[in-house]
Amino acid sequence: MLAAGLRAFFRLADEWDLSEAEQIILLGSPAEFELARWRRGDVASGSGETLKRISLMLGIYKAIQTLLPDRARANRWMRAPNFAPIFSGGSALDQMLRGDIADLRRVRTYLDAQLG
């Protein structure tokens, strides 16, 4: 299950143009060597939290694609300033890069509310 989730995450990371440092934060701070192994498909270890983080990010991705069907616009939204109270002028990605899984949950909850 984690291997499939990581494959999806790395596709998402390419689409969002995430740096390696950003990927590490979003995945819960695995060691760089572990991230490199995961990228190669060598998934011998991982935590349940990593899988939860991936699930939240995939949900965020799906919600954005639903709200903004133009893929390029949806991907730009991740880094665009946002003045909704949750973001305080920062971007959704800024919120997510605070590092806590609760930050991912906040963005997901915000988007779910936008979907109605």
Spacing of C-alpha 78 from chain mean position: 9
Task: Give 47-78 pLDDT, tens digit per residue.
Answer: 789 999 999 999 999 999 999 999 999 999 99
Contact 12, 61 (CB under 8 A): yes
Phi, psi for residue 85 in degrees, rounded to 5: -50, -35
Per-residue confidence (pLDDT) for residue 2, from 0 to 100: 85
Task: Give 1-29 pLDDT, tens digit per residue.
Answer: 888 999 999 999 999 999 999 999 999 99
Rounded to two decimals, the pTM is 0.93
Residue (of 23, 21, 18, 19) closest to 54 by Cα position: 23
